[in-house]
Amino acid sequence: MSASITSGPVPTSTIIIPSKKESLFLKLMSEQISSIIQGINIVSAFLPQEIDSNTAKILMTKVMEMIRNDR
């Protein structure tokens, strides 16, 4: 579980509950969301196995589309 806040040009992140896998992916996701919404967010995901870079890219793209469309 990762949390990020954006109150300036660069988001600040912290890991709330360390992940056994994909902690970098969750941190990047949290920072991207925080930058888009210019606020605070918490990102959590259950990933039973490592995800490849193509899957991570697709997930990131889909989530960012959902957030941009919701604004």
The contacts of residue 44 (CB under 8 Å, 6+ apart) are 1, 2, 17, 26
17, pLDDT greater than 80 = yes
What is the mean pLDDT of the segment spanning 41-68? 91
As for how many domains the chain has, the answer is 1
Write the pLDDT tens digit of every residue in 4-16: 999 888 899 998 8
d(CA 6, CA 19): 22
Report the chain's mean pLDDT, rounded to a whole number.
Answer: 89
Domain assignment of residue 39, given as a range: 2-70
Residue indicated by tokens 């896998």: 21
Q: Would the pTM count as exceeding 0.85? A: no
Q: Look at 71 and 24; give whichever has higher pLDDT.
A: 24
